[in-house]
Amino acid sequence: MTDALMPTYARAPLAFERGEGAYLYATDGRRFLDFAAGIAVNALGHAHPHVVSALTAQAQKLWHVSNLYEIPEAKRLAERLCAHSFADRVFFCNSGTEAVEGIMKLARKYQHHNGRPERTRIITFSGAFHGRSWTALSAANNPKHLEGFGPVSGGFDQVAFGNLNELRAAISDETAAILVEPVQGEGGIRAADPDFLRGLRAVCDEFGLLLLFDEIQCGMGRTGKLFAYEWAGIAPDAMALAKGLGGGFPIGAFVASEAAAAGMTAGTHGSTYGGNPLGTTVGNAVLDILLQDGFLDEVVRKAARLRKRLDGLVVRFPAVLEEVRGQGLMLGLKCVVPNAEMTARLRDAGLLVVPAAENVIRILPPLVVEDGQVDEAVGILEGACARWAEAA
């Protein structure tokens, strides 16, 4: 069966039949603790009753009508995203890549709209990941992803993640915007220093650039705030969302301040599926839970507890683990041993995690994870580390 699928992924020999909360059940009957969460997508775990009932109710009424008509569910989701962020305007799409493409187009349009059409270039950072379209790959400039795909699309200047001096030196009369992940995901769970993010905000204000945040992985409660930018006490001008937004239903969005979105007038952008009744109903259901009183406080509490346990493992097994990094329930364990091998061994022991760059394994439990499940995961990690330490 897999032969008909283009072999672009290195898949584990494992298929799942159903999921419940933080657990996945494989077709062979085995149970796994899912600390991969579909790569930070399943924010509410699997088969969350509230989301399932919202989706099934909507599925019996209306799935798709196109953006030729008003879509009340989309309007409501947009209003709620604005009410809980810096944003005034929302555009719905279907994936992270499209959301990033959207904020990049918005930045160019903003400069054009404000009489500076020569400002088209976007500054990005080493270690970045923004998706797999041609433009998104060109923005991130990761040679591993670009190999064999010919010349990149122009318009990007890349500097070292965290280096404000290098950033200032890269600004020219043609610079339109700065694009950054407040916490890099694929790059190895590298959290930007809040001072660096505040520095970016100041530079953008000084030079009339738009500050674009890619919160596709770190947004929607993942770091313990609804959006990661909140930790730095500043706001971007536009932001890309996806992953946790639909809790597993494919939906993306880009959001912007009114000023930043001023050029995005009728006819300037579009998406056939974007913001359809089914997807935005699910998005609203996910938001119902994330916005419940105390939900994000619980994420912060559980994250601190998990982090403390992981820090303990690093101290106990220095020959296996090097450090814990990240924020909230977006954590990375930098390994001394190969991260792919660690991922495979944990999987065999019943714990799913995700490898990332810099020999890191990503620990991304669903935000609804329970203390007992955290303990169970740490126990599996501990066992793997102990076996590794013994063998060394």
Ligand X SMILES: *Cc1c(COP(=O)(O)O)cnc(C)c1O
Binding-site ranges for ligand X (CB under 6 A): 95-97, 100, 129-131, 181, 185, 214, 216-217, 242-243
Report the nearest approach of ligand X to the CB of residue 50 (Å): 23
- Tallying the residues shown for the chain, one arrives at 392
Q: Which two tokens stand for residue 229?
A: 């930018």
**Residue placing its CB nearer to ligand X in the complex, 361 or 381:** 361
HSE-up of residue 75 (Cα within 13 Å, Cβ side): 5
Q: Which residue is nearest to ligand X (CB)?
A: 96
Q: What one-letter code names the amino acid at 88?
A: D
**Residue placing its CB nearer to ligand X in the complex, 171 or 354:** 354
Report the nearest approach of ligand X to the CB of residue 132 (Å): 6
Question: In whole angstroms, what is the distance from residue 37 CA to residue 231 CA?
Answer: 23
User: Would residue 294 be called left, alpha or beta, if left means φ above 0 and alpha means ψ between -120 and 50 degrees?
Assistant: left
271 DSSP assignment: -
**Residue placing its CB nearer to ligand X in the complex, 159 or 380:** 159
Q: E strands along 181-329, which residues?
A: 183-184, 190-191, 210-214, 238-241, 252-256, 321-327
Where is 179: in which H helix or E strand?
strand 175-180
Report the nearest approach of ligand X to the CB of residue 127 (Å): 11
**Residue placing its CB nearer to ligand X in the complex, 241 or 385:** 241
**Residue placing its CB nearer to ligand X in the complex, 85 or 94:** 94
**Residue placing its CB nearer to ligand X in the complex, 260 or 354:** 354
Report the nearest approach of ligand X to the CB of residue 130 (Å): 5
Report the nearest approach of ligand X to the CB of residue 242 (Å): 5
Report the nearest approach of ligand X to the CB of residue 181 (Å): 5
Question: In whole angstroms, what is the distance from residue 67 CA to residue 209 CA?
Answer: 31
